[in-house]
Amino acid sequence: MSADEVIPLARPVIGDRERELVDEVLRSRQLSLGPMVTRFEEMWAERIGTRHAVACSSGTAGLHCCLHALGIGPGDEVITSSFSFVASANVILYTGATPVFAEVDPLTFNMTPEAVEAAITPRTRAILIVDIFGYPAEIPALVDIAHRHGLALVEDACQSIDGDYDGRNLGTFGHPAVYGFYANKQLTTAEGGVVLTDDPDLYRRLKSLTNQGRSDDGAWLVHSRLGFNYRLSDVHAAIGVAQLERLEWMQDARARIAGLYQDRMASVEGVTPMYEGPQRRSWFVYAPRLDTDLDRDLIIGRLEADGVSAKPYLPCIHLQPYYREDRGHRPGELPVTEAISASTVALPFFCEMTEEQVDRVCDAVDRAIRAERAGVPGAVGVGRA
């Protein structure tokens, strides 16, 4: 099967407007610390309704800077979710603090407020909220817990770009929220991120931290604090500005594709479609659950042999090799998280996906499940990661 017949997991939308703005930056010869980054930040702040937005080189960089700016360090504990991309916990380790993993809800896949409160110890300094797969966590309850226990809050909204809780935009709940713009996200800058905040002091610290600790007055080569090289270039920001200009269309397109998937997958035996609850999901991936009697890796192998890209998504952070070998985590610590992680599979999902491609993916999933249950030999190991 030729490569052009394979349906990819993700495909960014890049058009003439992105090329026009990138060319504008290239012709200006101001490739970094220029007006395009400021334009990108101002567009985000206006869209979300925050006073400030700080562009950075990745969502990971934004999360790290937030924890650093809040004074999290060695001896501290930060509660977060193990059902997330590994960066959610890695940024805690960057500060010298310890990630403490709280159990998640079997429907939303987000940390439950009860589990978060149960994980609090005298060493807990912060909660790092994760809005996984674009579905918002229980923000008001977690804000209440943080206030009652005197804890800082940082929100990893990297998979929930432009998301909200009860119609209130993520980033407007009194704590910093971070978006990530990797190439598979709802909006991309290739690599990049942004921190949203209303706190002017935090804004100044973040602007400094992302730029090598540059002094708050911007004095040339004067560094008032230890910082990082976490700048977003104007070239990347140009892509982001173009993407922001049509984000509504891209979000609508992803919701349309998700709706097609939800309808089709409801009739595929052995698959549980993605949860649709009271909150609006900002559609990032399409990752339904397979029944526990199915071998997910074999299903993925069959899909890939059929020209459909698929991946096990997401592995538990606490069971990643580093966290097991260096941190001593073991299977069985988080049974709900581990069960979800063992059964979710990411399928092709992108704005320009056609209805015919969705049908082809769903038909391939149905065939793969039927073949496995019938004991038909398959492409063993193709899907292993």
| Catalytic (active site) residue 311 | no
Q: Give the C-alpha separation, 307 to 225, whole Å.
A: 51
Terminal CA-CA length for the chain: 21
DSSP state of 160: S
Which residue among 52, 64, 68, 185 is the active-site one?
185
Q: Of 357, 319, 322, 358, whose CA–CA distance to 335 is shortest?
A: 319
How far out from the chain centre does Cα 56 lie? 15
CA 205 to chain centre: 24
Look at residues 208, 154, 142 and name the one whose alpha carbon lies nearest to residue 178: 154
Closest CA to 347 of 263, 258, 281: 258
- Alpha-carbon distance of 144 to 353, in angstroms, equals 40
Q: How many CA atoms lie within 13 A of 5 on its CB side?
A: 7
Q: Which residues are catalytic?
A: 185
